Amino acid sequence: MSPKNSILVFSIILLTIAATPYLTQNASAASGISSAVANDPDDADGVYSVGDTIAITFPAATNATGSGTMSNIEFRANFTIDPSSIDNDDTLTGVWNAASTILTLTINTITGLTPPIINSDTVNYDTGGNLFYASNATAGGAGTEFLGTTVTLTGDFGLFIAAVLNNGGGGCSGDCIEPTLGVNNEGKRLVDGGFTYNGKSIDVELFFTPYPLVTVQTGKENTAEFKIYDNYGPDNISHFELAFGLARGESIGTSKVVINWDKSFDGIETVTLDDPENILENVKVMTFEGSCSDEQSQKCLVIQVVHTFRAPLDFNILGTNVWDMRRNAWQNYYNHGIEIVGESLNPPKEYDGIDKGHIYRLTETGKNTAVDEFGDTWTLNNTWIKNYIKNERLQDTGDMKNRNHSSFGTWKQMQGGYAIKYFDSSKIQGTDKGFIPAPERGIDHREQTLQKLDWYNAN
């Protein structure tokens, strides 16, 4: 090819690119989602929990409806998050921004055992889904589809995680290390047996600590002990809280039973109890210094919490939150936790129930059951609903002598059966009214019918 022809071909290529509007769009499709960023909107805790969000950003507008929603089924059909079980076990729903470029997923329920980890898990759009570039998507669900390129999950699931990630960075000076009941951020164990309940000790892990279920009785005294290490020593620890009765995925802030210990800058210790349902009694908190480990010489703050349960709780997981004088904080969760059994020592709760415009005073008899002042039972199903029992007649005893006997209806049906079996009415419905003699027996049909009825009455 001559140089002149080469220049001509090159010019044609440039003109083709300029005149083809979708080639630039298709080039953008070479990348998948741009980012996946986690966030805790209220920063109420530092772990993956209900209410946290993950914002997935696309490089261009998608064919999704602006400000529209995405169901959990649609999320599972379009995205994968590995290696956590969030995309298989947990429930998430999403909302698109007005430009259809950012999908914000909200965690609604958590049932999986493997939570996502920031800067470790990856997020991927599954090709073969139904997300396309808005510029050339068709109504039938076709066009230029986004590619399945994975991105690393960034962001945080709360302030405490963010504080840890900033350690050693430009956002912190002085003391930037949070206390620990077990290991530091590098996984080095600093405390042995950081959690003990009624004499059963376990080494505390970074976030979630598997703890065999302990069963305790209402009205019996229990002792929980925690060993806390801080890089500035035991005196630097200023706050500790112990929360009971958490469900999987719940944070300490949702607990109805929390024991708080605080120490002021001048060393004054105070204990407060958040217990609106009167679950606990005889709460005592004692602190002293003790050895963190048999193999190391550093000292820990030991916190002993003596307490008695007055009533069972719906869930068993425990949570602890601790921070130092600089508000460097860390949370831990212990599952399976503590199960409280036995009858409640509290008086039954009372409620108001409304049925057919009348207000009834209800006394709780179970988790979802109650009884009113007239002895009628109620069931809690979002609201209290009165239970109605179908009125059934009591069964009479003795022989049936008249139609008022409870068995008269059954007897009547039985007679109908016998009539159908033994009485052929077609034989007496003619014009002769059944008075034609039966040749084989020499009697008319009416007498034959009467004999059958006499036989039945005799039997």
Please report the beta strands in 145-231, taking only residues with DSSP state E, as ranges in sequence order: 151-155, 195-197, 200-202, 208-217, 221-228
Residue pLDDT, tens place only, 391-402: 666 777 778 778
Residue pLDDT, tens place only, 335-389: 889 999 999 999 998 999 999 999 999 999 988 999 999 999 999 998 999 998 7
Amino acid 276: pLDDT: 94
Banded model confidence at residue 118, pLDDT cuts 50, 70, 90: confident
Instruction: Work out whether strand 280-291 and strand 269-274 pair parallel, antiparallel, or are unpaired.
Output: unpaired
- What does pTM read for this prediction? 0.52
CATH dotted code for 195-341 = 2.60.40.10
Q: Which amino acid is at 159?
A: L
Banded model confidence at residue 167, pLDDT cuts 50, 70, 90: very low
Q: What is the mean pLDDT of residues 70-85?
A: 88
Best-predicted range by mean pLDDT among 58-62, 193-197, 262-266, 406-410?
A: 193-197
Q: What is the mean pLDDT of residues 272-293?
A: 96
Is the dihedral angle over the CA atoms 391, 392, 396, 399 positive or is it negative? positive
pLDDT higher than 50, residue 148 = yes
Q: Would you list the DSSP string of 254-287?
A: G-SEEEEEEE-TT--EEEEEE-TT--EEEEEEEE
Here the tokens at position 19 are: 């005149």
Looking at the chain, the domain(s) classified CATH 2.60.40.10 span 195-341
Q: Which amino acid is at 221?
A: E
Percent of the chain with pLDDT over 70: 78
pLDDT higher than 50, residue 172 = yes
Banded model confidence at residue 439, pLDDT cuts 50, 70, 90: low
CA 351 to chain CA centroid, Å, is: 26
Three-state DSSP state, 343: coil
- Please tell me the least confidently modeled range out of 63-72, 219-228, 258-267, 420-429: 420-429
Q: What is the mean pLDDT of residues 71-93?
A: 87
Banded model confidence at residue 448, pLDDT cuts 50, 70, 90: low
Amino acid 29: pLDDT: 43
Q: What is the mean pLDDT of residues 301-325?
A: 96
pLDDT higher than 80, residue 187 = yes
Residue pair 195/334 in contact (Cβ under 8 Å)? The answer is yes
Banded model confidence at residue 428, pLDDT cuts 50, 70, 90: low
DSSP character for 1?
-
